[in-house]
Amino acid sequence: MSHPAPSPAPRPRPAPLATPPAALSVRDRVMMQLTEGKWDGPRAYKMWLPPLVAPMALDRLLSQDRALNHPAHMRIPMGIIDNPRRHSQTVWTITLDGTTSNAAIGGATLLGKSTFVQTMILSGACTHSPRDLQFYCLDYSSNQLVQLEDLPHVGGVATELEEAKVRRTIAELITLLDRRRAYFTQHRIAGMAHYRQMRNDPNHPVSQDPFGDAVLVIDGWSTFYGNPDNEKLVEQIITLATTGPGFGIHVVITTTRWSDLRSRVRDLLGLKVEFHPASPDDTVLNDNRKALKSVPKRAGRCMSTEYLHIMIAAPRLDGASTMAGIAETYAQTREVITQQWQGHQSAPPVRTLPDRVPVADLLRMKPLATPQDSYKDRWTIPVGLLEQTMQPAVADLANYPHLLVFGDSRSGKTSALRAVVRGILQRNSEKQVAFIVVDYRGKLLELIPESYMVPNMYLRNPNDVERSKVRSGPLDANDPMQVDPSNLLAGLLNTRRPPASLTAEQLKERSWWEGYDVVLVIDDFHAMTQAHSHTNSAMSELLPYISSATDVGFHLIAGCHMKFANGLLSRGLISSAYGMGSSTILLSGDKVDFPSGREFSVMKRPKGQGLYRTADGLELIQAGFDPPAE
């Protein structure tokens, strides 16, 4: 009996496809096969790179740059630049040298201009020693630069409210420029490259220069420029931008409006970077306005002369590519950079005027002189410390024989007078100078040794000044105690009038008389005039000798209350002395109390600080401090 052949075992059914093969196109079938397989060969060329959305952390940017490029002086990595034609995103750097020694960054607010300069400072600090590169900052924007003040590369950060420090920051760089010019001439230096080479030679004199390349950073030019009180500072900044690059001084400015940069300033700032503009027409990169319009209104995104999109790196060294939480990273960033340059000399700090300049310190500074020196040296008297140079301010009492001090109560008038007198005493012997003193308040007591005084000429009250008025009966003209001191002094000075027959050389040498110069010191001149019968014309007998004082050896040193300035400057001795250009210290006071014009104005100031007016111009000084004994 035959049996039927067994039927074959059933085949396992394949798992059902999500989409039946018949429903897939050829393209989809190929894509499915390629993605399901494990491909370990070369990837296809990636033409489109991700958009510039998040800023790269600065430490990551610097690592990327070090892997591809050699460091160079004043070359500062700043961010990532996207070049779509080359399908690349590479490190974007700036070089503060040559035609791009100065820079300007413009754009609307809150888009990253302050972050730009923060990144520039931190990147420069990571790639240069604090001896080679230093930053001096004026923060008129967001106070973000204050976070970098303690870096070894930062000599100082001054905010809008720190007016004195702002002035001193600019003055420090002007002084550096003048000093570098002198170095270049003296040592026949060809340029900054040569200077840097000489500075690295320990045997060369310029190796003692503590400054390297110095960058003045002004964050918030629109605010700075908009202050009319900064007009002189603007001119100094223009000088730095014009001449500074040739001597290692650079200017970097951020501005909200390009129109706030004068054309001559704008032309000096070779490197220009634009964020999204505050208004469509407010741009300076005009070669490709279409490209500029594509800059998004996103923080950190900008464009420069390459007309390519740039994302500025986040100013942080913790590897986090974000601006979130940046405020918490500054302390660590400062510590990292400080540790990196441990043992290196920090940037020279910005010096500011001290609250007090003790006269002893002032007299130890140059110009030093002794009784053995020439007449001009002996009568070049230090009166304070100049803010512009931090050097002594001097009164040339040889050519401009008088000195006036105006100020409110407790502004430092008497202290300044005492300091001037001490300078005269230090430089002259009792045979070379003699004093007559009017001191109703007794604040000059024990200041002048008896051997330097004209006998019986320390005048403590109105009766001493007008002796002739308090005597009854006939006066004895030969008795000095019965004659007004001003008449006695006028009589002495009259004997010294130059004869008409003198030659120019004899006039210069004052050879027709011998003896000491007479210094009339009057503290509180206004008090003397109020008590005098002739009021503002007190001591008018001396008026003819104010203008001829150089010939006859006469000096008026007077302190006056600011509230009486208008009256005192209308007639009398003070008016005559001021009118002939005498050195004048204008301490604290109200603007309305002193006759001034556009040249200057009196204002409230810290004690001892004031304007110093000389034949050379106006300077801000801290007057010498020599308070009377309590």
* Ordered domains of the chain (ranges, CATH): 58-341 (3.40.50.300), 357-466+483-493+514-625 (3.40.50.300)
What is the arithmetic mean of pLDDT over 149-174? 97
Looking at residue 349, its pLDDT comes to 97
319 is in an annotated binding site: no
408 is in an annotated binding site: yes
Q: Which residue has the tokens 């490259």?
A: 193
In 3D, which of 541, 544, 540, 537 has the Cα closest to residue 568? 537
114 is in an annotated binding site: yes
58 is in an annotated binding site: no
Strand duo 380-386 + 392-396: pairing = antiparallel
Residue 264: what residue type? R
More confident: 291 or 16: 291
572 is in an annotated binding site: no
- pLDDT class for 185, splitting at 50, 70, 90? very high
pLDDT of 95 over the 90 cut: yes
- The tally of CA atoms less than 13 A away on the side-chain side of residue 480 is 13
**Angle of helix 192-199 versus helix 163-186 axis, rounded to 10:** 90
Looking at residue 2, its pLDDT comes to 44
Say if CB 437 and CB 628 are below 8 A apart. no
pLDDT of 431 over the 60 cut: yes
Mean pLDDT for the chain? 91
Strand duo 453-459 + 554-561: pairing = unpaired
411 is in an annotated binding site: yes
Say if CB 625 and CB 610 are below 8 A apart. no
109 is in an annotated binding site: yes
- Tokens (6 digits) for 582: 């005498």
- Tokens (6 digits) for 51: 């958009």
Range of weakest confidence among 30-39, 254-263, 377-386 = 30-39
413 is in an annotated binding site: yes
- pLDDT class for 9, splitting at 50, 70, 90? low
pLDDT of 107 over the 50 cut: yes
More confident: 158 or 15: 158
Backbone angles phi, psi at 52, to 5 degrees: -80, 95
Looking at residue 291, its pLDDT comes to 84
Percent of the chain past pLDDT 70, that is, above it, reads 93
What is the arithmetic mean of pLDDT over 594-608? 86
What is the arithmetic mean of pLDDT over 544-552? 96
Looking at residue 258, its pLDDT comes to 93
What is the arithmetic mean of pLDDT over 111-127? 98
**What digits encode the pLDDT tens for the residues 559-573?**
999 999 999 999 899
In 3D, which of 394, 432, 626 has the Cα closest to residue 515? 432
177 is in an annotated binding site: no
113 is in an annotated binding site: yes
407 is in an annotated binding site: yes
112 is in an annotated binding site: yes
More confident: 468 or 83: 83
Looking at residue 55, its pLDDT comes to 97
pLDDT of 1 over the 50 cut: no
366 is in an annotated binding site: no
User: H or E stretch including 359?
Assistant: helix 359-364
What is the arithmetic mean of pLDDT over 320-347? 97
414 is in an annotated binding site: yes
pLDDT of 105 over the 70 cut: yes
The strand pairing partners of 396, in sequence order, are: 380
Strand duo 453-459 + 357-358: pairing = unpaired
Strand duo 609-614 + 309-312: pairing = unpaired
pLDDT of 597 over the 90 cut: no
- The tally of CA atoms less than 13 A away on the side-chain side of residue 55 is 27
**What digits encode the pLDDT tens for the residues 439-493?**
999 999 999 999 999 999 999 998 888 877 755 555 555 666 778 899 999 999 9
Q: Return the exposure string of 77-94: e unless at least 16 CB atoms fall within 10 Å of the residue's CB, then b.
A: bbbbbbeeeeeebebbbb
Q: Which residue has the tokens 């001009």?
A: 376
**What digits encode the pLDDT tens for the residues 371-416?**
999 999 999 999 999 999 999 999 999 999 999 999 999 999 999 9
Strand duo 554-561 + 403-407: pairing = parallel
User: H or E stretch including 185?
Assistant: helix 163-186
